[in-house]
Amino acid sequence: MTNSLERILDGTAEQPPGKRERLIAAASRLLHQRGVEKTTLADIAQAADVPVGNVYYYFKTKDDIIAAVIEAHVRQSKAALASIDDGHRSPKSRLKALVREYARQGEVIALHGCPHGSLCSELDKRPGGSDLAVAELMRVPVEWAEAQFRALGRRDAHDLAVSLVAAYEGSALLSNTFRDPNILAREARRLNRWIDTL
């Protein structure tokens, strides 16, 4: 949702200074590009330019680093939404700004899918599910959008927020499936028209 997250995911960000931060950034990128099952701790260490043995100083298991990635995504989402709040006065303009943020990531999403949606889906399919706080990745934008719809006086604010995030996630899945960023762009235009009608 932020420029820094996008740079981490597409590999163009400068590496953060600390080893732990480099490991989290590398894990974010690899989990998004390759998926959970195909990404090993050794892969993450290599991408972060950290000796494999040092990984265990920061993260004892793969789940530990996945949890750190989720926390980083949640922090970045909250920061991006706070920035939208600060930069826009009306609830409608805030909702449209969120839609623009989603659409701006079209090329990356067409290649690898939504980083949050993909992670939620993958972790849910693990045997026995996942005890990681992955639902927070969806809860944060839903609750934020709900607050915007409530500010518009909508009594169905929660349902509208779920519809907004579901529309984005569905179009992200289709954009990735068909490798077509235009699907996401078209859905963004439709969502903007929908917001105008509220």
- Give the CATH number for residue 146: 1.10.357.10
Residue 15 pLDDT > 70, yes or no? Answer: no
Res. 7 pLDDT band, cuts 50 70 90: low
Within 10 A of 30 (CB to CB), how many other CB atoms are there?
A: 22
17-32 mean pLDDT: 95
12-19 mean pLDDT: 64
Phi/psi at 190 (nearest 5 deg)?
-65, -45
What is the domain extent for residue 81? 3-197
Percent of the chain beyond pLDDT 90? 86
104-113 mean pLDDT: 96
Res. 131 pLDDT band, cuts 50 70 90: confident
Quote the pLDDT of residue 116: 96
Q: How far is CA 144 from the centre of its chain?
A: 14
136-152 mean pLDDT: 98
Within 10 A of 18 (CB to CB), how many other CB atoms are there?
A: 10
Phi-psi region of 39 (alpha: psi -120 to 50; beta: other; left: phi over 0): beta
Quote the pLDDT of residue 17: 66
- Number of domains comprising the chain: 1
Phi/psi at 156 (nearest 5 deg)?
-95, 30
Residue 191 to residue 91: CA distance in whole angstroms: 14
- pLDDT tens per residue across span 48-76: 999 999 999 999 999 999 999 999 999 99
The pTM of the whole model exceeds 0.85: yes
Residue 1 pLDDT > 60, yes or no? Answer: no
Q: What average pLDDT is seen over the chain?
A: 92
Quote the pLDDT of residue 132: 79
